[in-house]
């Protein structure tokens, strides 16, 4: 065997070792959470890579707890409403920004970009006041309202880049036929925009599902909370030791849907993220 061949083999081994390292690093924490969630509480503090006994009592405990189920329901309602509102306002706005040239267009785009860079804390007290005034404190509706601050700019931005790529001939034909802009959007563009809307909708859903600061601040009672807050505030009977089993079970319950979505829509999510960042 020549040194060149040896070098080639070493390179291959090194490459695959690196791939394996990346895989383990990415997946292991989640894997460890999953196996912890299936351990009986007596085994919890035995460190092992494969549980000796499998047990679903953590899941039973979590899924029979009314406040956790309520939190899941709240999260679903909030996230879906947020996606719906963001897409509705986003698609019309992106038509205006992507297809029509008018004075002030750049300013509007700049404002949107600016809002998407807002630190959430900067609006916390002002938003708190708005929510109090609207009488929405400790109500998931407050979250639907406040989440528009980060989902809407992003949705508009990405949809605008997609809207711009659609061929002009389509719109010309619609105008020739005397279609109003509203008809053009709903009848001509909407059917073509579905992939882009699915992507942005998915990203908005994930963002809303994961949000923590507003959810922690604008809700108070167990029945109004969303899942992230419920998980962060899970605590057991004793003040010193956290109920790690149930916490991990709850974490797995709220994460599995996201991971499944992620794997199914991998391509879409990647294209949406890069369209938002690279092209923007």
Partner 1 sequence: MTTSSHQSAPEGARSAPLTARRPRGTKVRRQRVKAAWLFLTPMLVALTLVAGWPLFRTFFLSFTDASLTNLSAANLIGIENYLVYEDGRWFGVLADPIWWRSVWNTVYFSVVSVSLEVIFGVIVALILNAEFKGRTIVRAAVLIPWAIPTIVSAQMWAWMLNDQFGIINHMLMGIGVIDDPIAWTASATYSMWAVIMVDVWKTIPFVALLVLAALQMLPKDCYEAAEVDGIHPVRVFFKVTLPLITPALMVAVIFRLLDALRVFDVIYVLTSNSTSTMSMSVYARQQLVEFQDVGYGSAASTLLFLIIALATVAYLYVGRKQLQLGGDS
Q: Does 181 sit near partner 1 (CB under 8 A)?
A: yes
Rounded least distance, CB 191 to partner 1, Å: 18
Write the CA distances from 234 to 120, 135, 139, 214, 242, integer angstroms. 24, 27, 20, 18, 8
CB of 247 to partner 1, least distance (A): 6
Residues 60-119 that bind partner 1 (CB under 8 A): 85, 89-90, 92-93, 95-103, 105-106, 108-113, 115, 117-119
36 binds partner 1, rule: CB under 8 A:
yes
User: Taking CB under 8 A as the criterion, which residues in 150-179 touch partner 1?
Assistant: 152-153, 156-157, 160-161, 164, 168, 171-172, 175
Say how many residues touch partner 1, by CB under 8 A: 105
Sign of CA dihedral 269, 275, 278, 280: negative
Give the number of residues written for the chain: 280
- Minimal distance, residue 84 CB to partner 1, in Å: 13
Q: Which of 266, 143, 264 is nearest to 207 (CA)?
A: 143
Q: Which of residues 207-236 bind partner 1 (CB under 8 A)?
A: 209-210, 212-213, 216-217, 227-229, 231-232
Our finding on whether 40 is near partner 1 (CB under 8 A) is no
Cβ proximity to partner 1: between 69 and 259 the closer is 259
Under 8 Å between Cβ of 163 and 94: yes
Query: Counting contacts by CB under 8 A, is residue 262 touching partner 1?
Result: yes
Rounded to 5 degrees, φ, ψ at 38 are -95, 10
125 or 138: whose CB is closer to partner 1?
125
């Amino acid at each position: 065997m020549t040194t060149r061949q040896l070098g080639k083999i070493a390179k291959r081994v090194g490459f695959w070792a690196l791939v394996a390292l990346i895989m383990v690093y990415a997946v292991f924490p989640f894997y460890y959470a999953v196996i912890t969630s299936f351990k009986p509480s007596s085994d919890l503090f035995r460190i092992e890579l494969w549980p000796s006994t499998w047990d679903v009592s953590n899941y039973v405990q979590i899924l029979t707890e009314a406040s956790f189920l309520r939190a899941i329901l709240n999260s679903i309602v909030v996230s879906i409403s947020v996606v719906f509102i963001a897409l509705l306002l986003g698609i019309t706005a992106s038509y205006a920004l992507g297809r029509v040239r008018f004075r002030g267009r750049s300013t509007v785009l700049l404002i949107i970009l600016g809002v998407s860079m807002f630190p959430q804390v900067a609006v916390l007290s002002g938003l708190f006041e708005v929510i109090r005034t609207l009488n929405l404190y400790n109500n998931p509706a407050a979250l639907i309202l406040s989440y528009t601050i980060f989902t809407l700019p992003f949705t508009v931005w990405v949809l605008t880049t997609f809207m711009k790529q659609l061929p002009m001939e389509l719109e010309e034909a619609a105008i020739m036929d005397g279609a109003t802009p509203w008809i053009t959007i709903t009848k001509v563009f909407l059917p073509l925009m579905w992939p882009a809307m699915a992507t942005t909708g998915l990203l908005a859903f994930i963002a809303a599902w994961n949000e923590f600061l507003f959810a922690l601040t604008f809700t108070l009672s167990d029945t109004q909370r969303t899942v992230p807050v419920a998980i962060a505030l899970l605590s057991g009977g004793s003040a010193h030791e956290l109920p790690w089993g149930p916490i991990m079970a709850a974490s797995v319950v709220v994460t599995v849907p996201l991971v499944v979505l992620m794997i199914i829509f991998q391509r879409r999510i990647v294209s949406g993220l890069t369209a938002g960042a690279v092209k923007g």
